[in-house]
Amino acid sequence: MAGSLAGRVALVTGSTSGIGLAIAARYAREGAKVMLNGFGKPDDIARARAEVGAAMGVAEAPYSPADMSKPAEIREMVQRCIAELGGCDILVDNAGIQHVSPIEDFPDEQWDRIIAINLVSNFHAIKAALPGMKAKGWGRIINVASAHGLVASPFKTAYVAAKHGVVGLTKSVALEVARTGVTCNAICPGFVRTPLAEAQVKPLAEKHGVSEEKALTDYLLERQPTKKWVEVEEIAEAAMFLVGPNSGSINGSALSVDGGWIAQ
Residues serving a catalytic function are 159
Tabulate helix, strand, coil % of the chain (nearest 5). Answer: 50, 15, 35
CA distance 4 to 55: 14
CB proximity list for 111: less than 8 A, separation 6 or greater:
157, 158
CA distance 94 to 20: 6
Q: Is the Cβ–Cβ distance between 96 and 118 less than 8 Å?
A: yes
> How many residues make up the chain in this entry?
264
DSSP assignments along 78-96, one per residue:
HHHHHHHHS---EEEE---
Q: Cα dist. 112→98, 168, 197 in Å?
A: 12, 19, 23
DSSP assignments along 33-68, one per residue:
EEEEE----HHHHHHHHHHHHHHHTSSS--EE---T
Q: Cα dist. 168→162, 192, 227 in Å?
A: 10, 22, 28
CA distance 244 to 240: 6
CA distance 187 to 74: 21
Closest CA to 142 of 188, 84, 76, 210: 188
